[in-house]
Amino acid sequence: MPARILIVEDEEPLTLLLRYNLESEGYGVESVGRGDEAETRLRESVPDLVILDWMLPGLSGIELCRRLRTRPETERLPVIMLTARGEETERVRGLATGADDYVVKPFSVPELLARVRALLRRAKPEHVATLLRAGDIELDRETHRVHRAGREVHLGPTEFRLLEFLMQSPGRVFSREQLLDGVWGQDVYIDERTVDVHVGRLRKAINRGRQSDPIRTVRGAGYSFNEMFARAH
């Protein structure tokens, strides 16, 4: 059974973005836009993890988090706090109130997904999405093995991370700079054209014969995992 995640966020575009990416990871997702509504929902049903905005109408996220920690049913519920407050004192306050992790807006969606996985791995290891599926491609995060249409695809470490990164957000176009940050890390200084080389290697490995290419090149923009491919198989 997939992990259930509750998004408590009053910015609808951000809620839609988070829902899309979390559902693509295989999680069950619900959302509310007010703190008081979230408190009511959490009394009725406790999810496996909450993504909670700091500033909310009805009841602030920081107060909701404090209340959650006073109830036996939710005292150990994993909570990731989202906020535009990046000052150290505010981060300390959020963590001291009971948040398990603290993410400052604007943030990287792949990074947030990684934090979700890390929290669930500690709190609910049976619910972590270890297998990504898109079309006829399966990627196993635990064994680091990839299969396409039943055939094992042998990838190097970088090509594996690149495919994983793209599969997490089908349809989203990533610039070369974003791919460098997400796959290689922000502290690595290499030429952006390195991305093209590794995309070429990845394509060569996963495409055989007349198989359709799941990686879409967007001229002048970057690359994406073809959303239509993910839905068609």
CB-CB contact of 162 with 207 (8 Å)? no
CA distance 217 to 179: 13
SS3 222: strand
Higher pLDDT, 112 or 121: 112
Q: What is the pTM of this model?
A: 0.57
Strand partners, 79: 50
Cα–Cα distance, 50 to 40 (Å, whole number): 14
The H or E element that residue 148 is part of is: strand 145-148
What is the rounded CA–CA span in Å between residue 196 and residue 201?
9
Using one digit for the tens of pLDDT, what is the confidence trace for 62-103? 999 999 999 999 999 999 999 886 666 766 766 777 889 988
Check residue 96 and give its pLDDT. 75
Chain segment 133-182, per-residue pLDDT in tens: 888 899 988 788 999 988 999 999 999 989 988 887 788 888 888 888 77
Q: What single letter denotes the amino acid at residue 189?
A: Y
Q: How far is CA 137 from CA 23, 134, 149, 156, 211, in A?
A: 17, 5, 7, 16, 11
User: What is the distance of C-alpha 32 from the center of its chain?
Assistant: 19
The answer to whether the beta carbons of residues 102 and 119 sit under 8 Å apart is no
- Residue 73 carries which side chain, given as an amino acid letter? E
Helices assigned H by DSSP within 124-156: none
